[in-house]
Amino acid sequence: MKNKNVFKTLNYGLYVVGAKKDKNVGCIINTATQITSEDTPLIMISINKSNFTTKTILETKKFSISVLNTEVNPELIKTFGYNTSEKINKFDNINYEEIDNLPVIKEGVTAYILCNVKEIIDASTHYCILAECYEYNILEEKETLTYKKYQEEIKNKVIEKVETPKNTNTKRYRCKTCGYIYEGELPPNFRCPVCGEPSSEFEEIE
């Protein structure tokens, strides 16, 4: 039995990972985990090799984590989760502050962590990045957004904003995990560019 719903029962949060070289970049991740809790705690993130944010992290060896809360604007998740920093400046209409040359989001965010990369593990499509947390603080005492709550209450609002008008002759498929829409004949070896799910996890939609 391989029931992928199992992974939705684990308690993830939702975060914006930010980095800066020539400009501020960032993307949504649900994969940040505390590994140790010493004076300098260790954290691990899993980030797709093809994300533009990943390239910047590999070059600068540091990143920020903004911990999203339940009052976050779905538009922010759309901006950071469904676009690439290679093409747009995601921070243009966002309330943020640079701390130690790293972008920290100040709206819909409970806390932030600044991290120095310690080790990079190759995990096929992703890198697992182990990092030292060298500065961290609470911004607003609000309930942290869980991945489950995102799936149940916020994802639809984000997807509404992402969907493009239907072209009548073109088939459309939706990723059952993250809601990404693919238009056209779905290739059998296709993988979702947002969450990495295979084509078997896509459903045809009207």
Ligand X SMILES: Cc1cc2nc3c(=O)[nH]c(=O)nc-3n(C[C@H](O)[C@H](O)[C@H](O)COP(=O)(O)O)c2cc1C
The rounded distance, in Å, linking the Cα atoms of 150 and 50 is 24
Verify binding: residue 27, ligand X, rule CB under 6 A: yes
* Site stretch for ligand X (CB under 6 A), options 40-48, 102-110, 112-120, 167-175: 40-48
- Single-letter amino acid code for the residue at 128: C
Q: Taking CB under 6 A as the criterion, which residues in 137-196 touch ligand X?
A: 150, 178, 194-195
Query: Exactly one of 60, 70, 84, 116 binds ligand X (CB under 6 A); which one?
Result: 84
The rounded distance, in Å, linking the Cα atoms of 109 and 70 is 9
Query: Exactly one of 13, 20, 24, 47 binds ligand X (CB under 6 A); which one?
Result: 47
* Site stretch for ligand X (CB under 6 A), options 82-90, 91-99, 165-173, 182-190: 82-90
Query: Exactly one of 41, 42, 46, 75 binds ligand X (CB under 6 A); which one?
Result: 46
Contacts 24+ apart (CB under 8 A), 103-106: 103/18, 103/19, 103/20, 103/24, 103/26, 103/64, 104/18, 104/64, 104/66, 105/16, 105/18, 105/26, 105/66, 105/76, 106/139
Matching residue, tokens 């593990």: 121
Q: How far apart are CB 27 and ligand X at their closest, in Å?
A: 3
Give the binding site for ligand X (CB under 6 A): 25, 27-31, 46-48, 51-53, 77, 81-86, 150, 178, 194-195
